Amino acid sequence: MKATFYKYQATGNDFVVIDNRDHHFPKKKTGLIADLCHRRFGIGADGLILLEADPQADFRMVYYNADGREGSMCGNGGRCAVAFAAFLGMIAESCTFRAADGPHQARMQGGLVSLQMAEVNEIKAKPQYSFLNTGSPHHVQQVEGLDGFDVYNEGKRLRYGLYGQAGSNINFAAVLGPGSLRVRTYERGVEDETYSCGTGVTASALALYDSGKLTEPVVRVATLGGDLQVRFERAAPGQYTDIWLTGPATMVYKGEWL
């Protein structure tokens, strides 16, 4: 399949992005999507994003994991989709779009993209970790020695051992201050640690604020790929509204898949 694509990254979380408003992309070919995302034999990416027309919003984002399967919400991918829509001239500084978890608002300012995330209505707190859904399922666990922590093996063990085949994303976090975190994430679908995960840093900020480990509702989150900001309002214990994820989203290059 011959197709024009764009490569985007958001704090190191990278994506193949395709304008699919004419519906030319063969979405059922999971093997093709996996080939496009393969880092040795393809373009290389954590996932693939199709930008499509939507009668109820400025556009629709369809997201696929690197394994070729359609995924749930991707926060960094959503911010890249907004930047791509602006590049195509579809939007100005603000927009609405639809994703797997429903409608989202977003705005661009000063090279940053802010994305309103889905509301969170429940955080399941366990003695060693928390579990919540921020558009995608997330396990959040505070650990010591995060720099040297074996994210791949421990993340894989929890992803399958605790959550079964359907799995969950696994986040390991270290609190740096009352409004500051460092997070490393093992992402299902990629089946490896990624440089950043937007829904993951959002989940980590909310879970650790809800448990009292953070005390400020505006949280700077350091990832392997750079810094993100999460801000939110607490409606009740375990319930959060007006959640915004902010950070850079950049086009890397344009290419053609032959």
Same-domain status, 176 and 228: yes
- pTM for the model: 0.96
- Where in 155-249 does DSSP place strands (E)? 169-177, 180-187, 192-194, 218-223, 226-236, 239-248
pLDDT surpassing 90 at residue 208? yes
Same-domain status, 187 and 208: yes
- Number of other residues whose CB lies within 10 A of the CB of residue 22: 8
Same-domain status, 130 and 198: yes
Split at pLDDT 50, 70, 90, the class of 1 is: confident
What are the residues whose beta carbons fall under 8 Å from the beta carbon of 248, sequence distance 6 or more? 10, 11, 111, 112, 113, 226
Same-domain status, 68 and 32: yes
Length of the chain as a residue count: 258
Same-domain status, 127 and 60: no
Residue 85: which domain range?
A: 3-114+249-257
pLDDT surpassing 90 at residue 107? yes
pLDDT surpassing 80 at residue 198? yes
Same-domain status, 239 and 253: no
Q: What is the DSSP letter of 119?
A: P
Q: What is the pLDDT of residues 26-74, one digit of tens each?
A: 999 999 999 999 999 999 999 999 999 999 999 999 999 999 999 999 9
What domain count does the chain have?
2
CATH number at residue 13: 3.10.310.10
Structure-block tokens of residue 115: 């994305």
Same-domain status, 98 and 133: no
User: Which of 4, 1, 36 is CA-nearest to residue 19?
Assistant: 4
Same-domain status, 28 and 86: yes
Same-domain status, 167 and 234: yes
Same-domain status, 92 and 141: no
Structure-block tokens of residue 114: 């802010």
Cβ atoms of 203 and 140 within 8 Å: the answer is yes
Residues with a known catalytic role:
74, 197
Same-domain status, 215 and 229: yes
